[in-house]
Chain A
Amino acid sequence: MAVGCEGSDGGQPMFKISEKQVLAPGTMLFVVHAPMIASKVQPGQFIVLRICEEGERIPLTVADFDREAGTLTLIFQEVGKTTRLLGTLEAGEEILDLVGPLGKPTHIERLNLVACVGGGIGVAPVYPITREFKAKGCRVVSIIGSRSKDLLILEKEMTAVSDEIYVTTDDGSYGKKAFVTQELERLIQEGYNFEFAIGIGPVPMMRSFAKVTSKYGIPGKVSLNPIMVDGTGMCGVCRVSVGGKTRFACVDGPEFDAAEVDFDLLCARQLTYCDEEKESLAAFERGKCGGCSK
């Protein structure tokens, strides 16, 4: 029986990294062997991983998957201790724990015109969603952007699955000097009649995406990234307010109607462990990685 062939207990195979790429400064791509998850995952879903015995559990959205090869593609930015440590792993090494696919998949149906908007690292989760809309026969317009040229990721991949693509940078070092949401608004004003839009990126970008889509009455979804622990609805740390109701992003989301999201609360809650995260990172930079053997 194939079921149960993964996992870290009982000498079973762990989650081996088969490929590692540096996509941009501080942005990594891993291809990880996880056949049980790869066989089930759909665009919009995420996984939770833990690197070592002393490690914390962090959620990462799935940027791609290969059901036949049994692999997941994970793209992450090195921002804190855990992602920095993750970035030190090399192809051939293993991730101790990896669980998923978690959260609800993106609702993808055949529509006439769809906008897929990704900012910064958010382009990674937007990619499989874009590909799936395209595969469903939608006309897909993508808008991707980053702070500057060197931080832009997946341009080639996104181009391949989009009917039209627009690229922006905050500093104008590549593509158009603009925010992705400004570009979205320009297209809408030019007469693009989007039936649906998805926007994933940093909170300020998603907040602005919510404003633009609701201003023009376009059904828009954002994918939220609050702090999580178990990722199965058990702890409730990922609670977000959507339309005035408390929801758990891990099981009710991660995607919600953009116009309904309380971004102030999301921002505040993301900063809960700001001090502790700094302390952890500082210790890591001093070469002290807790009690961890990595």
Chain B
Amino acid sequence: MSDQQPKPRPRAARESMPRQDPEVRRHNFDEVALGYSEEQAVREAGRCLKCKKKPCVGGCPVEIEIPAFIHEIAEHNFDGAVAKLREKNSLPAVCGRVCPQEDQCEKVCVLGVKAEPVAIGRLERFAADHEMKSGKMAFPAPPAPTGKQVAVVGSGPAGLTLAGDLAKMGHAVTVFEALHKMGGVLVYGIPEFRLPKGIVQREVDYIEKLGAKMVPNFVVGKTRTVDELMREGFDAVFIGTGAGLPYFMNIPGENLNGVYSANEFLTRSNLMKAYLFPRYDTPIKIGKHVGVVGGGNVAMDSVRTGMRLGAEEVYCVYRRSKAEMPARQEEIENALEEGMILKELTSPVKIIGNDKGWVKEIECIRMDLGEPDASGRRRPVPIDGSEFRIEVDVVVMAIGQGPNPLVPTTTEGLSTTKWGNIIADEATGETSLPGVFAGGDIVTGAATVILAMGAGRKAARAIDAYLKKA
């Protein structure tokens, strides 16, 4: 066997990702990154050193056997690669697209010391897309039912991962979603051009076929409280409601027409498909000049959505400098290529409206970087007298999201932080209430898809252990 294995080709250059041309893509909502061809994938997989230590596995929050699936690709066994991925990851097509691999598996890749790391994320996407193209879905043998029922609150990455894991363990899982479509932030937040909704639907279908029951249009905290779910027969509840509370800056003019929270702007476009208005009924204001405030991934998504809706100019107004922007480097580069005008070291002080109550300008102040703050980044300090205005007709506030209070405030005895995040054990997701677990952004504050998935994975193990004891 071993002499038939392809030799690693670590010296070969990392395969670049084919992408839509910036001039073309800034006018459409189609996916930007087109994915590796089979030849590219096999070549890239051939770069893996198959090192003994496999630091990449430790760098993955859901512990994918990375060298193993890459090996299958190198051997042209794409079905085998999918099977390896599916062992640990219920959402490979999602992770292959939106995980910040540069901060996780690829960051610790041994090859990265002297050259560019193996493009693990792109290979994961390749394998997941192969599964989709093949139309085949392989499922593990159905487990023996345990007779235990688990309610999952929220169908985002944490909830879906946990639902998949618990279903594979034989528990009866019901996933409750407040919106009309399953997927949480994957559906309402992340745009089509980064994560096509058909792909999310397919991942949801996969988890449903594993046995999880999907219930949209159900607001836990309103339709039923967590206590009521427990009383009505659920043995455990997992809360993964995410960061569903938009923050505003509390500056004058934020309630003018044309000022959106990023949540609203993206929900209208992504979930409600306002970019297809009037074929779809939900409208969205098409700004000529759009100002997006913030420097994270949500800000980049808002900038790029504004462009695709038809804006002539889209500004990113960020109070620190480009180097401190929390968005993925790749997304910042994508946005810049598409024409984003970056106003770094700039902070809005007020929004100015016209006589009809519509936004017409943002007044900003220039910033300087002072001493590092609690986050370790240099604190932006306003420069007196440096105010200036930017003409805009749409403003999107993408300065962060907090925990939605609907579940915490209706669940008696559930401990939260002063910011409203649920307090949960990092290793298990256990909360202050027996049988109630939590994970993802509702616990950590706004973070990434994969970290939420990791929390779901850990909580699934803890819930399984809890149910076996009960």
The stretch of A51-59, A113-121, A129-137, A215-223 in contact with B is: A51-59
Main secondary structure of the interface of B (DSSP, over half): loop
Please tell me if B279 contacts chain A, counting CB pairs below 8 Å.
yes
Chain A residues with Cβ below 8 Å from B223 are 36-37, 40, 99-101
Q: Kindly supply a per-residue 1/0 record for chain A positions 1-37, scoring 1 wherever the CB is within 8 Å of any chain B CB and 0 otherwise.
A: 1111011111010000000000000000000000011
Please tell me if A232 contacts chain B, counting CB pairs below 8 Å.
yes
Chain A residues with Cβ below 8 Å from B277 are 276, 280
Q: Kindly supply a per-residue 1/0 record for chain A positions 98-141, scoring 1 wherever the CB is within 8 Å of any chain B CB and 0 otherwise.
A: 11111000000000000000000000000000000000000000
Please tell me if B432 contacts chain A, counting CB pairs below 8 Å.
no
Q: Is there contact, CB below 8 Å, between B264 and A6?
A: no
The stretch of B76-84, B211-219, B446-454 in contact with A is: B211-219
Q: Kindly supply a per-residue 1/0 record for chain B positions 287-301, scoring 1 wherever the CB is within 8 Å of any chain A CB and 0 otherwise.
A: 000000000000000
Q: Is there contact, CB below 8 Å, between A8 and B222?
A: no
Please tell me if B321 contacts chain A, counting CB pairs below 8 Å.
no
A230 and B218 CA atoms in complex are apart in Å by 12
Tell me how many residues of A have a C-beta within 8 Å of chain B.
Answer: 52
* Minimum C-beta distance from A106 to chain B (A): 15
Known: A1-B233, A101-B223. A81 touches B178 (CB 8 A): no
Q: Is there contact, CB below 8 Å, between B219 and A96?
A: no
Q: Is there contact, CB below 8 Å, between B233 and A96?
A: no
Q: Is there contact, CB below 8 Å, between B406 and A251?
A: yes
Known: A4-B213, A56-B281, A246-B254. A233 touches B218 (CB 8 A): no
Q: Which of B218, B258, B268, B406 contacts A229 (CB 8 A)?
A: B268
Please tell me if A90 contacts chain B, counting CB pairs below 8 Å.
no
Q: Is there contact, CB below 8 Å, between A234 and B404?
A: yes
Q: Is there contact, CB below 8 Å, between A232 and B278?
A: no
List A residues 193-208 near B (Cβ within 8 Å): none
Q: Is there contact, CB below 8 Å, between B257 and A234?
A: no
Q: Is there contact, CB below 8 Å, between B285 and A229?
A: no
Q: Kindly supply a per-residue 1/0 record for chain A positions 235-268, scoring 1 wherever the CB is within 8 Å of any chain B CB and 0 otherwise.
A: 1110101000010000100000000000001001
List B residues 400-449 near A (Cβ within 8 Å): 404-406
Q: Is there contact, CB below 8 Å, between B278 and A272?
A: no
Known: A97-B216, A234-B244. A2 touches B281 (CB 8 A): no
Q: Is there contact, CB below 8 Å, between B244 and A233?
A: yes
Please tell me if A67 contacts chain B, counting CB pairs below 8 Å.
no
Q: Is there contact, CB below 8 Å, between A232 and B219?
A: yes
Q: Which of A40, A81, A100, A271 contacts B257 (CB 8 A)?
A: A271
Q: Name B residues whose Cβ lies closer than 8 Å to a Cβ of A.
A: 149, 151, 174, 176, 178-180, 182, 188, 208, 213-219, 222-224, 229, 232-234, 244-246, 248, 250, 254-255, 257-258, 260-261, 263-264, 267-268, 272-273, 276-283, 285, 356-357, 404-406
Q: Name A residues whose Cβ lies closer than 8 Å to a Cβ of B.
A: 1-4, 6-10, 12, 36-37, 40, 50, 54-57, 81-82, 96-102, 229-230, 232-237, 239, 241, 246, 251, 265, 268-269, 271-273, 276-277, 279-280, 283, 290-291
